[in-house]
Structure 1
Amino acid sequence: MDIAKAKKSLTTLESWQMVLNVQELFNKVVKRVLILCTVCLLLCLATLQEAKALVQTPQNSIVSNSILIAFQVSEDTVSAVHKFEQAVRAIDPDGTLFVDISPAEYINGMVLITVANDWYYQPYQIRKQAAQSLWNSWAAIYSPENPDKARVKILDLKGNRIGGSSTLGGSLVDVDK
């Protein structure tokens, strides 16, 4: 009888061990899912303000002739935009390609670059390299110690986004094909 009880106890122990293994596996899965959800939530919260500003930059807030009207950006950004505009005007003094340069209303470190229709006549690779060069110049002026803080947003004459920095980092520059 002791052998029968021992076999029954062993069977019961094995079944509990299987239950505990399943529960342990379930706990590991739940922990990983919770960690993944937390990381995703933190990433979303970190980029929410930037993404909102990228999408909601008012089309009528573009500045002409370096006159700033009711912008909510720091004086450092305004000063840096002015320096950047002077550098761009040295390359394009008549404004035939780069029509306007202004700070973004809600994000310090973002500059809006309005381009003329001639922008579209350039091959994709030339436009992409030009956008990357614009970002490099802007980053060197605005935040040389942390270049990814500097962002560019390239707009057409109607204020549509046609290129610029990613919400993940200023150095990730793209242009529409």
Structure 2
Amino acid sequence: MSVSIPALVWYANQFDSTTRAELKTQLRQTESAATVAPQIRPESSSEVVAVKTQSDALRDYKAGLSTIDGMSALISDIRPGLTEGEAELTVTAYFLAQPKAIREDLANSLWRAWVVSTGGESNVDRVRIRLVTSQGDKVGGSRTIAGSLIYVDD
């Protein structure tokens, strides 16, 4: 299957803040009747807020990426990461064969989409991705110091 990686990167980069807000609204509207359980904030037991769970965010993320033609040629699996707020993406050999600049652009786009899915725009450095091979070797993702610092191996 042939996929235009520059086209995917361009598509992902088209989401300005207005579009991201519209996308979040659309994702919420397409969710089933399931509701997010309220959770008590530790600092104020009288204040109840709705929090998006990791499984809800992963579901939204997978649904969003599945709408992009050819994404399955680049990402073979998405699952919860090692820490809260982290998504682990298994990349394909086709992804690894691309020039580093293209992989970096795509990784940044994948991270931005994950931020939108988690609702983590207010604290982007806590939202992370981890890119791994099918053997589990890490080949990129968020840096330790901040989730927004994305890299890919040479």
Name the TM-score class by shorter chain: 0.5 to 0.7
Match of 2:114 in 1: 138
Matching residue's letter, 2:80: P
Do residues 115 (structure 1) and 95 (structure 2) align? Answer: no
- Cα distance in 2 for partners of 1:130, 1:116 equals 13
Counterpart of 2:143 in structure 1 is: 166
Q: 1 or 2 for the larger relative contact order (CA 8 Å, sep ≥6)?
A: 2
CA change 1:83–1:93 in 2 (3 A) is farther
Q: TM-score, normalised by structure 1?
A: 0.55
CA contact (8 A) 1:139 1:148 kept: no
Aligned to 2:125: 148
Q: How many residues align?
A: 103
What 5-or-longer segments of structure 1 have no aligned partner? 1-73
- 1:78 correspondence with 2:76: no
- 1:121 is displaced (CA, Å) by 1.7
Same amino acid, percent of matched pairs: 31
- Give the root-mean-square deviation of aligned CA atoms: 1.7
TM-score after normalising by structure 2: 0.63
Per the alignment, residue 43 of structure 2 pairs with none
Match of 1:102 among 62, 75, 79: 79
The DSSP-based 3-state class of the residue aligned with 1:91 is: coil
Aligned to 2:64: 87
Higher helix proportion (structure 1 or 2): 1
**CA 93–161 in structure 1, closer or farther in 2 if over 3 Å, else same:** same
| Compared CA separation, residues 82 and 93, structure 1 to 2 (3 A) | farther
Higher share in strand: 2
